Structure 1
Amino acid sequence: WRNNQDMFDKIRNYFSNLKKHKYFHYHVRNKTIDEICSIIRRWHMKEVGRGNKCIIAYDYIKLTGEKVDKNWAEHQAIGEKIDKLKRISEELNVPIVTAMQMNRAGENQNRRSSTLTDDSSAIALSDRLQWFASFVSIFRRKTVDEIAMDGRQFGSHKLIPLKTRFQGKDAAGHQDIIRRPIIEETEGREIHSERLEYNYLNFEVDNFLVEDRGSLADVVEATTQRFDIEEARVMGDGSTTI
């Protein structure tokens, strides 16, 4: 990154903000989950202290030294790893953020949104993640038709909640469904309809810069406003310029 002037400037400019927060990084490559939990305990007691707040990020869930044989399958080893991360989180009373890869059902390269699987079956290796985790979601790149439908201003990626066990007082609930207006063109005519979709969050990802771009509810609100303007133009009550 030192040879890239643009990247060099971004990193140097962020250093001043980074110094305001304590950040620790440990390489845990090829260490078993028991060794990782031991590192977490020692770090928490030494650097954080009991009762103090912190966030632990583990990148990412895969086999890193755990033994697999005919009596202990890969998905069982991954499930045990997830279970132990959940237990250490409860023991220290701190959130742990991690990630897993998606299987082929979740790949969206050169595919339309209607052919994608946006549920827990797209999670690779083990379904035990949704057994133990407090919050499970899919974070993926939007397809071309999704970008066209949402609008480029609503970002390049989407986060789709799958399991939300603990919600705040203003949460929409376990069935956060949005009524979405749809425009389809048939034989040169615009057909307006509606369909129900689960809410999701929009993000713009530009290399290492991630920016929040609202939710599906914001997309629907912007679309509804555009409908009102177009109807006013047709009725002669609004400006002819959009």
Structure 2
Amino acid sequence: MALIQSLRLEQRLLAGLAKFPKKFYYLEKFIGDEDFTSHSYKKIFYHLKRSILNGDSVDATTLTAKLEAEKLCFLDEKVGTYDFISNLFENPIKEEMVEQTAKDLKPFTARRRIHAAFLEGAEKMKGLKNASLDEILSISDKVFNNEITYYDGDSGPENIYDELMEVIEDLGNNPISEVGFVGPHKRVHEMYGSLLRPGDITVILARSGVGKTKFCMDFCTKVSLKYNNVPILHFDNGEMSKKDLMFRQMSALTGIPPYYFETGKWRSIEWNGMSNEQIVSLVRSQWPKVKDMKFFYFNVANYTTEAMIQLIQSFYYSSIGRGNPLIFSFDYIKSPLEGRGSQSQWQEVGTMIQKFKSFIQAELLHEGNPVISMITSVQANRSGIVGNRNSSDLPDDAGQVGLSDMITQQCSHMFLLREKTLDEMRNEPDFGTHKLKPIKTRFLGKSAARATQQIMMPNNRQRKNEVFLEVNGFSVEEKGDLVDFMNGDRTDNVEPIEESDNAGGLPEGI
């Protein structure tokens, strides 16, 4: 059988990238190692890619040295390494043809992948003697979906008013209860809408040790439970192990400190007024609940952004299934492994968050709609350390965002999470231990006016609304907002969020 390849196009694309390195940035998400069939061509592409991403110069002498260090030879071409690389730089390809060459080469990659997928699928089908139609289609999805890469030409600018009437009237005829998942905190959802909207990113800003991870894990877990255990994919940046999170989650479910689970002493203690028998009963009462919960952990320390995105995509198609929702929790944003030579730290972080946003909003779609909701966190600046300071001394604003302004630009919601100061604990009794302050709100909920209004305080000064939280161990509960405080009320004393007609199922907008 003839090989599915075009060495001429592979060589031509390598020549284009060698002569016009900046073109790689336009093709970075489109081409990869799998587009080259020759081992030597794969190595050339690898070194070209690393040189371009690191901001190094690309020339025949340097590239040859890197290839010769790996003892790479070109037996099929019957030329030496330097001669072959020199021929690449002398190739007559023009800059405007580089992208077209990549597009011409891609069908060969698609054919190889589909051919391999058909062979794998054929083998799997042989073993499905008593499978149902749904099982057959599900297995087919897992075999094929991660292998097929589609690319479409740009359709060009579109007039937003062309379909405006149809869209608005259609929604009027078929109203939906919510856009995105309803979170566990009444005031937060009423004022700011869903913090887990498919295709959007919510960022929690806080100092180290304040509770970024607690808040995000608690929020995602409670949302997942509300919607029949929607899967959560949690990436950890190398700071917490799988077992660390297991003990935390068990503590959140039972209220028992993680220490007793870490040491295994939960079977032999009395704690917080509970007898040993009660504690054992409480712990074991969680087993029917946790067997259906879906919280997938992966340590991505030393992973590049591209590798993380590829992992999400592979996991989604193989374990979640196309069209199904996924909550993605990333703990947390910091300088990525990869750099671009002359890029500063804030540029590298900005590039990383841009790639995540592009991936969940425009790349992994089902019938044109996003399916992944993302929540993440970032460390606040040192000026946000509470310590023994008064609330008036804290700059609770966007200036707290560390690393890059592009984090703020790319997210839909950003909140500052901090512990209450001593004067706040004294002046706001029974209203929690922490504050959640809005920094950016691209979307608002049905109580938009409440979210944006300035509240007059007893000292005749106005303050922007904020939410009070009670962080108890690894569980987070809302205690109302500033309006509730001024009215002497709390969230746990007012009506809960109304359940929609499809409570327990997915929101109609997903």
Question: How does the TM-score come out when normalised to structure 2?
Answer: 0.39
Tell me if structure 2 keeps the 8 A contact 1:101–1:123: yes
Aligned equivalents of 1:20 and 1:77: distance in 2? 38
Aligned equivalents of 1:89 and 1:173: distance in 2? 30
Quickly say closer, same or farther: Cα 1:19–1:215, change in 2 above 3 A: farther
Per-residue CA deviation, residues 26-70 of structure 1 (Å, 9 max, x unaligned), is: 11111011111111111122222233222110000012412364x
Aligned equivalent of 1:222:
488
Aligned equivalent of 2:360:
89
**Equivalent of residue 120 in structure 1, options 384, 398, 402:** 398
Aligned equivalent of 2:327:
55
Quickly say closer, same or farther: Cα 1:172–1:54, change in 2 above 3 A: farther
Aligned equivalent of 2:473:
207
Quickly say closer, same or farther: Cα 1:78–1:15, change in 2 above 3 A: farther
Aligned equivalent of 2:262:
2
Aligned equivalents of 2:404 and 2:443: distance in 1? 22
Q: How does 1:104-183 map to 2 (within 5 A)?
A: 104-151=382-429, 153-172=430-449, 175-180=452-457, 182=458
Query: Which sections of structure 2, spanning at least 5 residues, go unmatched?
Result: 1-260, 272-278, 365-369, 490-510
Query: Which sections of structure 1, spanning at least 5 residues, go unmatched?
Result: 183-192, 224-242
Quickly say closer, same or farther: Cα 1:97–1:141, change in 2 above 3 A: same
The one-letter amino acid paired with 2:462 is L
Per-residue CA deviation, residues 85-108 of structure 1 (Å, 9 max, x unaligned), is: 111220332211000001112111
- Aligned-pair CA distance for 1:109: 1.0
Aligned equivalent of 2:157:
none
Report which structure shows greater RCO (CA 8 Å, sep ≥6): 2
Tell me if structure 2 keeps the 8 A contact 1:204–1:212: yes
Aligned equivalents of 2:446 and 2:356: distance in 1? 27
Aligned equivalents of 1:199 and 1:43: distance in 2? 39
Structure with greater Cα Rg: 2
- Aligned-pair CA distance for 1:15: 4.1
Structure with more helix by fraction: 2
Q: How many residues align?
A: 210
Question: How does the TM-score come out when normalised to structure 1?
Answer: 0.79
Classify the secondary structure of the residue corresponding to 1:88: helix
Classify the secondary structure of the residue corresponding to 1:20: coil
State whether structure 2 residue 317 is matched by structure 1 residue 45.
yes
Aligned equivalent of 1:75:
346
Classify the secondary structure of the residue corresponding to 1:59: strand
Higher mean C-alpha deviation, range 47-56 or range 205-214: 47-56
Tell me if structure 2 keeps the 8 A contact 1:164–1:174: no
Classify the secondary structure of the residue corresponding to 2:448: coil
Quickly say closer, same or farther: Cα 1:173–1:95, change in 2 above 3 A: farther
Quickly say closer, same or farther: Cα 1:169–1:158, change in 2 above 3 A: same
Higher mean C-alpha deviation, range 38-47 or range 110-119: 38-47
Identity value in percent? 33
Tell me if structure 2 keeps the 8 A contact 1:178–1:217: yes
Aligned equivalents of 2:421 and 2:322: distance in 1? 45
Displaced runs of 4 or more, over 6 A: none
